[in-house]
Chains A and B, each alone.
Chain A
Amino acid sequence: MILGYAGKFLEVNLSTGEVKEAGFSDEVLRDYIGGRGLAAKILWDRLGGKWETVDPLGPENILLFLTGPLTGFFPGGRVCVSGKSPQSNGVVGSTVAGEFGVELKCAGYDGIIVTGEAEKPVYLFVKDGDVEVRDASHVWGKDAKQTVATLTKECRALLSKRFTTKGEWKEPSILYIGPAGERKVRTAVVAAKWTHAAGYGGYGAVMGSKRLKAIAVKGSGPLPEVADMEKVKELMRAVCNDVYESELWRRWGTGSGGYEVGAKTSSEPVRNWQEEWHDEKSFGVDQFESRVWVKPYWGDFGCPTTCLKVAVVRSGKFKGAMTDNPDYELQAYLGTNLGIFTPEENVFLASLIDDLGLCGIQTGNVMGFAAELFQRGILTKDDLDGLELNWGDAEAFASLARKIAFRDGIGDLLAEGTYRAALKIQEMKKADVLQYAVQCKGIGIGAHGIRSGKDYPENYSYACSVQGGDHTSTACLPLDDFRSELAMTFNDSAVYCYFNIFGIPRNLKFEFYKAVTGLELTQEDWINTKALRILQLQRAMLLLGGPDLKWKPKIHDSNPPRFHEPLPSGPYKGKTIDKAEVEAQIKRYYEAVGWDENGIPKSEALRKLGLDDVDKVLEKLR
């Protein structure tokens, strides 16, 4: 057995109620590590042969909650949620911060595999080896704050009743869905701690389709044994010391981007990306700090950065709204992208989005899209059930968010996410509305534009990513670049927060991996073999797609049309992305990762990686 792993997985079939243990060979764990990599492997092995027919929101989809060997050891605990994505119809490794992964490993499991679907709402309660599928009808329909409060109280009471001399029980760690997930909204998240979310992929909808409201875990054991604890301690210290030395995210959170990315790099979505520049100093970090912060540092297991800051609106119309201070992405997507420029309105919307169990990025993307259609007269007040979606009207956007979460009226259509909604509106209105959809392969693009050329993504980063518009998994060359999709796959497979790696030497994460597992892993082996193998699996399933949509690389390995319009304002006014140039870059990327000129992984590239079975299945696409 490889060190650093608990050594077994929990498998729960919600259709039959059967609970059993599952395991993977050392070879599989060595190759796919955990988290995102292992998710791709499990999904391919179990569903690859019939991928196109598997409905992501049907009982045959498999929902995964996976840790990795570094979870709990590398500062910044996370857990990876995956399955067939109802957004891309491929596989997204979607991670969420918190103690869930640590609790799970302490309970003796490296992950949970959920299959089937329950007849009635249930939640899973795991206390070490005791696993129960419990009735969740009393929390079905409840928002995030109600769900967390009710289940925290209920599970602690259960533990106290069962272990009478233990003393006070700490709360179990809980992952849950809100009303949006229950209604299979494709922009719904799997959430933790009110404000934390596995957003990309839309796995809240998958959880809802299985009628699984929550999973609560309490593990009473230690984290697994490691190869060299002294080395682990030394590396933990090295990561922390590096972070303690840096000011930006620790002091201000990623919200520091709210002004920086808007005003300086000019790559922040403004009014559905019609602009990417603003000079609103009212949206600077210091304005958030003075107006809404009530706690300057909030973090998760072992984290030195604690980029979260707790925010509350203390007076005015939105008094009582509470959430973590919107990070950069939510400042953009529930702020500037909707024409909103005050911290109070931004916090109000972020708090509501938490409560509903929606993804702030994806929902902000689809709401911005709808507002632009209203601006252009394509969607009318009548179409919007009486709503006037004027830029900057936080209350109108709040009403729309509720409609989306409850699939009410126009919300039912927008609950399908930007791309699917665009296809339907296109049909309804006989107008080309796809040109206003800022997404890639069903996934709204993260709040980092490419037109100014000053932000980190490359021109082809979203177009070539196996996770579409996901800004945390962007394709780039050279493949061993520290921000390439292949490099990021390690963080999501060993499962820890990559926000703690920016200042440390590049090979430290592999040293960490060795100190925990005892296994050597080189950068070269990771990039050229192991990560590449995971990438090919993800690419294969993304291209197989279905059942409702399929991606054709020639058409869909592309930027949203908006990115080919010139920037209308700001320091980079007039700049745009040249189509021919991107096509040449995409071609170079295809060559580097072993895809043919049509974007399909080549036979020899797959066979070299031992993916002969993938090669066989992909034959039909060639």
Chain B
Amino acid sequence: MSTEKEQIWIARDLAKCSGCRKCEIACSLFHEKRIWPEASRIRVFMLVPGTDFPHFCAQCEDYPCVQACPVKALSVSERTGAVLVDRETCIACGQCIEACPGRIPHMHPKEDYILICDLCGGDPQCVKVCQEGSWNVLRVVSKGNYAHRLYARKPEEIARSLAIKIYGEEGERLL
């Protein structure tokens, strides 16, 4: 069995996101064999034009989503540290969404189970395409003692921060 040291995490620098959405394309091709933005485990939100950012699991150290699941459909991969969804067990109740500080999990658009980033089993495809384009929004690092919850923020919160960062004091009124 792997040690925790080999677990990975996707570091993120949201302000650099170009909005090219190649991460959505790569993720859905890997998991669904189709280009399917709404079924992608990583989703690019653009609540304010120019503030596009990827929204995906931050792997909180206490995994509130896993704890909230009433049917134990969610578990943590010992190898990668990712949250794994047992789609047969999942009852699509949405309690993991409520438990997530960033409301990150979302329902599969056609089937009744929740979508959460599984790190593609340890080789995240979104990071690859982001690096290929040298956008470097996403980067694989070893899982350390990060304040993960800081990264698990709701789309509106992230959009507001980015709007202020990019557009200055005017940013607030753009949302």
Which residues does A use to contact B, with CB under 8 Å? 72-73, 99, 102, 106, 145, 148-149, 152-153, 163-168, 170-171, 193-195, 219-223, 225, 229, 233, 236, 240, 244, 294-295, 297-304, 306, 310, 312, 314, 320, 322, 324
- Pair A221/B36 contact, Cβ less than 8 Å: yes
Q: Which of B15-23, B72-80, B141-149 faces chain A? A: B15-23
Q: Please, how many angstroms separate the alpha-carbon atoms of A193 and B19 in the complex?
A: 12
Q: Indicate whether B120 reaches chain A with its CB closer than 8 angstroms.
A: no
**Which of A164, A195, A222, A299 is the one whose CB lies under 8 Å from B36?**
A222
- Mark each residue of chain B from 34 to 64: 1 if its CB lies under 8 Å from any CB of chain A, else 0: 1111110001111111101001000000000
For B20, list chain A residues within 8 Å (CB).
Answer: 299-304, 306
Chain B residues with CB below 8 A from A244, complex form: 132-134
**Closest chain B CB from A197 CB (angstroms):** 13
Tally of B interface residues using CB under 8 Å = 52
- Choice from A194, A219, A240, A294 contacting B49 with Cβ under 8 Å: A194
Q: By CB atoms of chain B within 10 A, which of A102, A170, A312 has the most?
A: A170
Given contacts A171-B47, A221-B110, A233-B29, contact A312 B21 (CB under 8 A): no
A297 CB contacts on chain B under 8 angstroms: 16, 18, 135
Complex: A481 Cα to B62 Cα, angstroms: 61
User: Which residues from chain B contact A240 at a C-beta distance below 8 Å?
Assistant: 22, 132-133
B47 touches A152 (CB 8 A): yes
The reply on B33 being an interface residue by CB < 8 A is yes
Determine chain A's interface SS by DSSP, over half rule.
loop
A-B contact pairs, 25 of them (CB 8 A): A102-B37, A149-B48, A153-B175, A165-B92, A165-B93, A165-B97, A166-B94, A170-B38, A170-B43, A170-B45, A171-B45, A194-B50, A195-B49, A219-B38, A220-B38, A221-B38, A236-B25, A240-B22, A294-B167, A297-B16, A300-B20, A302-B25, A306-B20, A314-B168, A320-B170
A223 CB contacts on chain B under 8 angstroms: 34-36
Name the residue on B nearest A304 (C-beta). B133
- A299 proximity list for chain B (CB < 8 A): 18-20
Of B92, B105, B109, B135, the most chain A CB neighbours within 10 A belong to: B109
B18 touches A149 (CB 8 A): no
Enumerate the 7 nearest inter-chain pairs by beta-carbon distance, A residue then B residue, closest first: A167-B106, A165-B94, A222-B36, A222-B34, A220-B109, A297-B18, A193-B49
| B19 in complex: contacting residue of A153, A195, A219, A298, CB < 8 Å | A298
Is B87 interfacial (CB 8 A cutoff)?
no
For residue B134, which residues in chain A have a CB less than 8 angstroms away from its CB? 244
Are the CB atoms of B19 and A300 closer together than 8 Å?
A: yes
B:105-153 near A, CB below 8 Å: 105-107, 109-110, 114, 132-135
Q: Is B13 an interface residue (CB 8 A)?
A: no
Q: Which residues of B contact A310 (CB under 8 A)?
A: 50, 166
8 new A-B contacts at CB < 8 Å, known A168-B103, A225-B34, A229-B29: A148-B49, A170-B43, A220-B109, A221-B110, A244-B132, A297-B18, A302-B20, A306-B20
Name the residue on B nearest A314 (C-beta).
B168
Nearest A residue to B134 via CB reads A244
Determine which of B35, B114, B132, B175 lies in contact with A72 in the assembled complex, contact meaning CB atoms within 8 Å: B35
